[in-house]
Chain A
């Protein structure tokens, strides 16, 4: 079975039945998953940081790295699959955004990522229907193109679905 694997700061889409869209070990990073029922396309971005203003070069080279550049880039990619350019009708799911235990404000990267992503989705008139965010554990996420089912796993825990 085919698999589209996305590393940190990467984004991509698939409409191939039987394929899985997958990303490994999201700590404070967040996977934004866009499911388009119209075209049966699954898009995903593995976002590391909330805002590209800290490094414009990196954003140009890897737009998927930052929340503000990743979401427009993912929508553009999905438009190539015939999806609506502004994400109309898409179902949004979010997972990741973990924080370390007893963390202080500075280290709440997961939380800042989640806030930034939600703000940008909001600006696109999109909102998450399901989310599995926060906590202090790492998540591996896999989405089946055929069923749209999102499966999560983490070492030492049974897998679960979203």
Chain B
């Protein structure tokens, strides 16, 4: 049996995680605001020489197949768009967490980042196709960050996956969250929530991290966004990109219907788009990872 963590032990784990770089943090703040310009994004990126270099490296990577090199950061950002810039900044700033091998979930290295990227694309598609008033860019960022708590508790869950699955199969647990609590005292949304607060993420992102499996509990202001990520998460898991043993071990909240409209055909189209966008994006962002 694994040892349950106390709240102060959880906080100590969370506090041992490096802070986001100031530019990544400011980018998240800025892009969560309803009215913001790409020009503001450009100005922010310019304050960070390392990030600027990364962005230029990505835009000039083979994935985009540009005929001539882009050397101006303004052009690079307008070519790549806000979402890719945010992905680069997050990957740059917290890459260690995203690349962590989630052994506690019996997942392999890279699974978390791939799951997050697919969730991000799917949440963006849900946001833009569902007729709801949600920023697709924000849904994308929220998708990237939603499961960050798994990287925090995975080590403590080591060896628990078969028991967790068994608890769910025998109805002892309703879902993987309850199993996580039974094993280590906290679930990945609670752990992620603590980190989101320490990182001082915008409220909308904090709520997504905390409630993406229980969207009805999110505050009214952000509930539609949380539902979009909830669906994006499920779409990612359905298409075979989970993070190991917990894949599809969470109920779908049909209450999304009050906020988002989605037909079976819409869903199938989203699955298709996620598949093709994912390969493109992953290829371009790998230029980000290597030093």
Contacts and interface: CB of A to CB of B under 8 A. Distances in A.
Interface in A73-103: 98-103
A65 to B, nearest CB: 8
B107 interface: yes
A147 interface: no
Contacts of B105: 155
B247 A157 contact: no
Contacts of B31: none
A28 B269 CA distance: 15
Given A8-B240, A137-B248, A138-B247, A155 B263 contact: no
A136 B165 CA distance: 11
A34 B244 CA distance: 28
Contact of B248 (A29, A49, A54, A138): A138
A101 B175 contact: yes
Contacts of A109: 238, 267-268, 271
Contacts of B250: 100-101
Nearest to A109: B238
Contact of A48 (B107, B262, B271): B271
A125 interface: no
Contacts of B252: 100-104, 107
Interface in B237-291: 237-242, 244-245, 247-252, 254, 262-265, 267-269, 271-272, 275-276
Nearest to A55: B272
A134 to B, nearest CB: 11
Interface in A26-74: 26-29, 48-51, 54-55, 58, 65
Interface string B91-102: 000000000000
Given A49-B271, A100-B237, A155 B244 contact: yes
Given A25-B242, A54-B272, A65-B272, 18 more contacts: A24-B240, A25-B240, A54-B268, A55-B269, A98-B238, A100-B234, A100-B250, A101-B248, A101-B251, A102-B254, A104-B252, A104-B254, A109-B271, A137-B247, A155-B245, A156-B164, A156-B165, A156-B244
17 contacts: A8-B240, A9-B275, A27-B237, A27-B241, A27-B242, A29-B239, A49-B268, A55-B272, A58-B272, A98-B238, A102-B251, A104-B254, A105-B264, A137-B249, A138-B237, A155-B106, A156-B164
Interface of A: 8-9, 24-29, 48-51, 54-55, 58, 65, 98-107, 109-110, 112, 136-138, 155-157
